[in-house]
Amino acid sequence: MNDKIKDILEWIYCIVIAVIIAILIKYFIGTPTVVKQTSMLPTLQQNDRLLLNRLTRTMKKMPQRYQIITFEAPSNSDIGLTVNDLQNPVAKYDNEPENWWGKFVYHVLEIGKESYIKRVIALPGEHVEIKKGKVYVDGKELEESYLSSDVITEATGILTEFIVPDNTVFAIGDNREGSKDCRVFGCVPLERIESTAVIRFWPLNKFGKVD
The whole-angstrom separation of Cα 158 and Cα 153 is: 14
Other C-beta atoms closer than 10 Å to the C-beta of 26 total 16
Q: What top-level class would CATH report for the domain 33-209? A: mainly beta
Q: For residue 185, report the phi and psi dihedrals to the nearest 5 degrees.
A: -105, 0
At residue 55, the pLDDT reads: 94
Q: What is the pLDDT of residues 38-70, one digit of tens each?
A: 999 999 999 999 999 999 899 999 999 999 999
Domain boundaries, the chain: 33-209
Would you state the pLDDT for residue 49? 97
Beta-bridge partners for 152? none
Please report the pLDDT score of residue 182 as a whole number. Answer: 96
Q: Which of 58, 39, 23, 93 is nearest to 196 (CA)?
A: 58
Q: How confident is the model at residue 150 (pLDDT cuts 50, 70, 90)?
A: confident
Q: What is the pLDDT of residue 1?
A: 60
Q: How far apart are CA 186 and CA 189, in angstroms?
A: 9
